[in-house]
Amino acid sequence: MNENLEKIIANFINVDEVKSVSALGEGFINDTFVVKTKSSDTPNYILQRKNKSIFTNIPAMMENINKVTSHLKKKISEYGGNPLRETLTLIPAASGSFYFLDDAGEYYTMCIFIENTVTHQKADSPELAYKGAKGLGKFQKLLADFKEPLTDILPGFHNMKFRFNQWDITLQNDPLGRCKSVKEEIRFIENYRTEMLDFWKLVEDGTIPTRVTHNDTKISNFLFDKNDNVECVIDLDTVLNSTCLNDFGDAIRSYANTGLEDDTNLDNVSMDKNIFEAYKAGYLSETQSFLTDIECKYLDFSAKYITFEQVLRFLMDYINGDTYYKIKYPEHNLVRTRAQKKLFETMIF
């Protein structure tokens, strides 16, 4: 094992028990490792180096996650579920906090790895979409009576006014002169400026309520069991108070996309209407008891809102010189932009 990682892991668990450490996953933001242990009596773990340039208050982020998972564990125990499998279990560092700050100024966190689960990149059937949506709906329902304050660790995250402020600055600066090569995409963003900002006004003035939301509900953030029921919702970095519509809409981007988020062949990309309808039915089966009429009214639109926001964020990062998202090749953010724009254009309700 790498000596540096060994020192970090030793802050959370006994390193003598560790068998192997390997990199995991496709996250755009953090670096993730699986820590396997020798004995079958000890769990395996997930170790993450959190991205501190994006998450500028990691102690507060971990406090949010601790509050939310503690609440979930209580509710899961109440209905007789397994709190070690149905939500994340954070491992405290030696200091007692849920993060370790190393000498290089990097933040590490650890949680239990949940074994024997299945992950998906998209929904291959309406049944899977229905069940996945029930998983999100249940997550929101279990948190509906959560009353503790959460720190807003990503101010403006799904806030269109904030995004357009960033956008206007990006276009003004155009640091690499890329704007001239993406005129069509810029025009697309400008065409929808008013409509998207009008929706956000409804959130700002309280017409659409805010709740505890996940804010990164791509299908790969849900662990399924072998019967395709959701066992656990993971990647809680972005739990915040926002509109639950964004969680619904963001899920559609992955569940119902017939292609990839970064498909280079736009012919592959479209929204599968059957998957969309199944997702909506599954979501409403869990949430109808608490959603307001106005939330129900804007469900379809929320898929467009969040996909639009994603086009804007990918394009903005491309223009800015790829400073936010990890990329695998130079034009990656542009490819992502075009694929999400195509997805948006096929969202016809």
Contact (Cβ atoms closer than 8 angstroms) between residue 186 and residue 120: no
Q: How far apart are CA 228 and CA 161, in angstroms?
A: 38
Q: 293: Cβ–Cβ under 8 A, 6 or more apart, which residues? A: none
CB nearer ligand GN1, residue 76 or residue 235:
235
- Among candidate residues 275, 276, 264, the one with its CA nearest the CA of residue 337: 264
Q: Which does 69 bind (CB under 5 to 8 A by kind): ligand GN1, Mg ion, none?
A: none
Paired strand residues for 242: 211
> Which does residue 63 touch among ligand GN1, Mg ion, none (CB within 5 to 8 A, set by kind)?
none
29 binds ligand GN1 (CB under 6 A): yes
In whole angstroms, how close is the CB of 217 to ligand GN1 at the nearest point? 9
Q: How many residues bind ligand GN1 (CB under 6 A)?
A: 10
One of 64, 69, 238, 320 touching ligand GN1 (CB under 6 A): 238
According to CB under 6 A, which one of 10, 17, 28, 31 is a site residue for ligand GN1?
28
The two beta strands, 45-49 and 31-37, are antiparallel
User: Given candidates 63, 216, 247, 309, which one binds Mg ion under the rule CB under 5 A?
Assistant: 216
Are 266 and 338 spatial neighbours (Cβ–Cβ below 8 Å)? yes
For the CB of residue 229, give the shortest distance to ligand GN1 in the complex, in Å: 22
Q: What is the C-alpha separation between 56 and 119, in angstroms, rounded?
A: 29
What element of type H or E holds 345? helix 332-345
Residue 309 binding partner per list Mg ion, ligand GN1, none, with a CB distance cut-off of 5 to 8 Å that depends on partner kind: none
Pair 59, 90: CB distance under 8 Å:
no
* Residue number, 37 or 135, with CB nearest to ligand GN1: 135
Of ligand GN1, Mg ion, none, which one sits near residue 28, judging by CB under 5 to 8 A according to partner kind?
A: ligand GN1
Tell me if 235 contacts Mg ion by CB under 5 A: yes
> Among 63, 86, 185, 235, which residue sits at the site for ligand GN1 (rule: CB under 6 A)?
235
Q: Which does 10 bind (CB under 5 to 8 A by kind): Mg ion, ligand GN1, none?
A: none
Nearer to ligand GN1, 216 or 263 (CB): 216
Q: What is the spatial distance between Cα 302 and Cα 40, in angstroms, rounded to a whole number? A: 44
DSSP assignment of 309-323, as one string?
HHHHHHHHHHHTTS-
Closer CB to ligand GN1, residue 185 or residue 235?
Answer: 235
Residue with tokens 């070690």: 84
Interaction mask 280-319, ligand GN1, x per CB under 6 A: ------------------------------x---------
**Residue 216 binds ligand GN1, judged by CB under 6 A:** yes
In 3D, which of 317, 342, 307 has the Cα closest to residue 199?
307
The pair of structure tokens assigned to 154 is 């990503």
Pick from 56, 12, 5: nearest CA to 31? 5
In the complex with Mg ion, the residue whose CB is nearer, 21 or 234, is 234
Which of 192, 205, 206 is closest to 163 using CA atoms? 192
Cβ distance to Mg ion smaller for residue 37 or 242: 242
Contacts with ligand GN1, residue ranges (CB under 6 A): 27-29, 54, 216, 218, 235, 238, 261, 310
Contacts with Mg ion, residue ranges (CB under 5 A): 216, 235
